[in-house]
Amino acid sequence: MSGIADKNPAIETVLAHQILEIIGELRNAPPAGDGDVARAAEGICYHAGRIEALVRAAKPIQLVLPAFPAKSANPEKTTGILPDLGEVIALRRLEALCVKIEEIYAPGAQLVICSDGRVFSDLVQVSDEAVSAYGDAIRAIIADEGLTHLTTYDLDDLFPGLKDHDVTRRLLVEKYAEAVEVVRERAASDSDARRMYNGIHRFLFEDLVVLNPGMSRTKVRDWAGALAYLVIQRSNAWSNLVLEQFPEAVRLSIHPQPMHSRKIGVQMVSSANIWRTPWHASVLFDGKEYTLVRRVDAEAMGAVLERENGRYAFFVMPGAVAGGTVDAVSAFN
């Protein structure tokens, strides 16, 4: 099937579900909990309905993904502050997703990366200078790789010319955030919210305990727990802003999302840890597959640091041979 459905409701519905299935090839979902399977149809109906509305209007499928904030400052996870092969594979994979949609739907798809690095960099001990350098490098990769279906949007676009990033964060919270007490209460009463809190708490603890070696693990754990609520508060505020800016878009998420969620969780690079992202990890090639791992784990396995075409860092296991470029199709499959 190609092109726009000829105003046949049945064809448009089928096409919407086909597009959703393509997006679903990247789906990242946590293990199903009680009631999750029974509620899965809710998510399918919600997302298919939004896609079908765009198909009926013959509009491109717009996807938005808050992602690519900045590299973690934790040297046990990453090789530096700039994107490595993990980000490149992820971007190629997102481009391939849009291309696959375009193959069955002529208006195609566009994906907006809503970078949230500026939103909570102060909470995760990443400087605004590092956020800027990372964002510039992401845009350079998109341009250099010819990823024409991808664009970016960040807090700087919302407040052009405002150089005080603490002020932009405060304005975001004032206009779009709910009280942190509400975030706490939801995490205590809702299993999905609790799962999200636990995942973010764990990531924060892993970074902060390395970045603050003079602090006890107990104090770091408590600190990370308090920060996790603030990260979620600002992340939700950013989600509210993204919804306002892109009201018709299909909302993707880099976090695992249950099937009934109004966000579709996507995993852009393979990893044994469904919470791991390119900006919290390094890439390891074992001779067959590129996966995300912590830098210290790659080094412990004897992996050697190399660069794709002399540019993007990744680790290679002893005996494995890596060379050339990881193309978009193999990255997507």
pTM of the model: 0.89
Angle at the Cα of 25 (from 23 to 26), degrees rounded to 5? Answer: 80
**Gyration radius from the chain CA atoms:** 20
Instruction: Please report which confidence band the pLDDT of residue 36 belongs to, taking 50, 70 and 90 as the band edges.
Output: low
Q: Which residues contact 175 (CB under 8 A, 6 or more apart)?
A: 237, 241
Q: Reply yes or no on whether the pLDDT at 3 is more than 50.
A: no
Q: Which residues contact 173 (CB under 8 A, 6 or more apart)?
A: 233, 234, 237
pLDDT of residue 122: 93
Confidence label for 58 from pLDDT (cuts 50, 70 and 90): very high
CB atoms within 10 A of CB 6: 7
Residue 2 in tokens: 């190609």
Q: For residue 329, is pLDDT > 80? A: no
Q: Which residue has the higher pLDDT, 244 or 161?
A: 244
**Which pLDDT tens digit goes with each residue over 85-102?**
999 999 999 999 999 999
